[in-house]
Each structure stands twice: as structure tokens, then as C-alpha cells.
Amino acid sequence: MATFGLWYFSWDGEYHKSRLKESVEDKEGTADWSDFKRRGFNYAIAEGLAGVSIQYTGNGKLDGETFAEDVFRVIHTIPLYVTIPYYQYRSSEPRDNPRGSHKYWSDWIEGVLKFAGSNLKGFYWSLENGWMFANYRKNKDPQINPQTIEILSDIVHSYGLKFIWAPYARTTERDNTDIPSIHRDGLFDYIFVQSNYYQYPTIATEGNRETPYTYSELKEYIRWIHNNGLYITMEADEGVITGCGNCRQCTLNSPEECKELASHYIKAQKEILGRKFYHRLYYFGVSLEVIDSLNSYCQVRLGEKYL
């Protein structure tokens, strides 16, 4: 069983600073790898909002070197995956031509490898759109040429490393996304699907009509993930502490409502699978207190920790 946690970094004009902290009240960057590991995470994923908070010079090798040097200074013991950033710094523009070129992203991998420690286990493709190939065929953003992902996958695997992805697909028409076919093609070693149940009160249905995103819909989503041989992204954030975050109930300023929504991911897995997914990726904002709070909440109400 492996648990992966997203660990965010942000460029401040000089360095990529860790944003991880113990509690919501703490200053960002005050928690370290031992705090992260103590919660029960097996792997860290060094991320930067798909590139939006990562330095961009146009030189993939240089940018990869800079990011890796900063990240491995902080995370030097726990097994680590490093992001491949899609977007330019503070921009909605991609770092390379998504319809053809792969040079920037290939060079980024080479740059990271120059400064990587022995704890590097692989790379994380940061464009999380579950329709990224379909958008390419329609020339609609955000998109990526399937051949680019094939090339990047080959490069990563040639070094004996793994390639992972965490797409979102807030829809009941999940078979019409790229996720099943990408999984069948073996481009990624692990795919962790984001249901977005925690964040949104509705889910898209046939014809892009919105319908209430009920607990029953979440259970059907989890059944689909399992039946397709995929894994889950567990979604929560500081809303479970403060009542203010990306939780769909944050408008009520109610941490308890947010905790209940986050706990549904555990409850649904137990009802559908009889257990938690063997591999899980956790998005929890930047505060480890989120994990602590949900561990206690789920242990009391469901007889099992969140992580």
C-alpha cells in the first residue's frame, strides 16, 4: 500500500520555497519531510500548481535544475516524485507548444535529473485535465499532443523511473474522457482520479447538464475507478479546520460540513470495496493539520483513519 501526498512549492523570485506547514496558523514552509512522513505518507509529490508557481525562463533544462536544486534541499529522505510543469509562471499559457513540441518538457526532465537525489522515484504530469487528448483533437485548450506524452513516458521509463498522473473528471460520462484509454495504453504507471466531490455541489451528466453531486453519485464514481483498475485522489483542504477553502460547503463557514464531505471518500470506499484503495494520492492544501483533523474524525465515525 502506498500513500502519496502533494507538497507545494512556490517561486519567490530567488528560490522555490516549500509551502508545507504543521497547522493552519503556522507560517508556510515551517514543516519538513519528517513531519510529512510522520503522518504516514510513503511518497511526496513536489508540485507547483501545474507550473503557475514555478520559475519559467523558457529553458527547460535550467528551470528543471533550479526547481530540483530547491526541492531536494528540502525533501532529501522520503521517496519523491517531481512535477513536470505544464503552465508558465503566473500564466495560463503552456511552457511549450502543446500541439507538437516536447523539447521544453524533455529538457525539464534532464534538468531535474542533474540535481536529483537517490530518493527520486519518478515524475508527475501536472496537466490534470481528463480530456487533454480530446481537446488536442478539437484544438481546444488545455491540450497536449498524445505523442508528447508517449515520448515523455518513454524518457522517464528509460531511467527506471515511474510516471504518474492525477486527472480530474467531474462528470458521469467518465468513459468518454481520455482516462480509460490512457490507462489501457500504459502511458502512466499510476493514475489517481479526482472526483471533485469535495469541491462541487453538482456533477455534469449527458449533454453537460448539471445534477446534484450526491453521496450515491460518489459511490458510483468510486465503483468506476475500481472497475477500471485506477486509483483515487483524496480531496480536502483547510476548510475542514477554518470553514474557508475549496470545500463546496465553505459558503456556510462550517468546518464540520467540510469534514463530513471529506470523510465520505473513506465511507464510500468501505461500502463499495470493503477497504480503502491500495494506492491513494492526497490533496490536503498545505497544512498537515488537515490530515490530523480528518484522521481523528474518520477514526471516531468510521473506525478507520483518513490516511
Who's near 43: CB < 8 A, 6+ residues apart? 2, 3, 4, 5, 78, 79, 80, 81, 121
- Render pLDDT for 217-242 as a digit per residue (tens, 0 to 9): 999 999 999 999 999 999 999 999 98
The answer to whether residues 89 and 52 touch, using CB atoms and an 8 Å cutoff, is yes
- Looking at residue 252, what is its pLDDT? 67
pLDDT at 246 over 90: no
Number of domains in the chain: 1
pLDDT at 250 over 80: no
Question: What average pLDDT does the structure give for the chain?
Answer: 96
Residues 81-85 have a mean pLDDT of 99
Nearest CA to 3 among 293, 294, 283, 288? 283
- Render pLDDT for 171-208 as a digit per residue (tens, 0 to 9): 999 999 999 999 999 999 999 999 999 999 999 998 88
Residues 270-282 have a mean pLDDT of 98
Nearest CA to 177 among 204, 156, 199, 209? 204
Residues 22-41 have a mean pLDDT of 95
- Looking at residue 239, what is its pLDDT? 94
Low-confidence winner among 8-12, 102-106, 207-211, 223-227 (lowest mean pLDDT): 207-211
pLDDT at 210 over 80: yes
Residues 87-107 have a mean pLDDT of 96
Band (249; pLDDT cuts 50, 70, 90): confident
- Looking at residue 56, what is its pLDDT? 98
165's grid cell: 498522473
- Looking at residue 116, what is its pLDDT? 95
The separation between CA 117 and the C-alpha centre of its own chain, rounded to angstroms, equals 22
- Render pLDDT for 121-134 as a digit per residue (tens, 0 to 9): 999 999 999 999 99
Band (243; pLDDT cuts 50, 70, 90): confident
The residue that leads in pLDDT, 206 or 163, is: 163
- Looking at residue 238, what is its pLDDT? 95
Domain membership of residue 205 (yes or no) is: yes
> Which structural domain range is residue 58 located in?
2-302
* pTM (two decimals): 0.96
Residues 96-124 have a mean pLDDT of 96
The residue that leads in pLDDT, 1 or 109, is: 109
The answer to whether residues 192 and 280 touch, using CB atoms and an 8 Å cutoff, is yes
Whichever domain contains 244, its CATH number is: 3.20.20.70
Domain membership of residue 307 (yes or no) is: no
d(CA 113, CA 133) in angstroms, rounded, equals 27
- Looking at residue 204, what is its pLDDT? 96
Domain membership of residue 165 (yes or no) is: yes
Band (105; pLDDT cuts 50, 70, 90): very high
- Looking at residue 208, what is its pLDDT? 84
d(CA 11, CA 307) in angstroms, rounded, equals 29
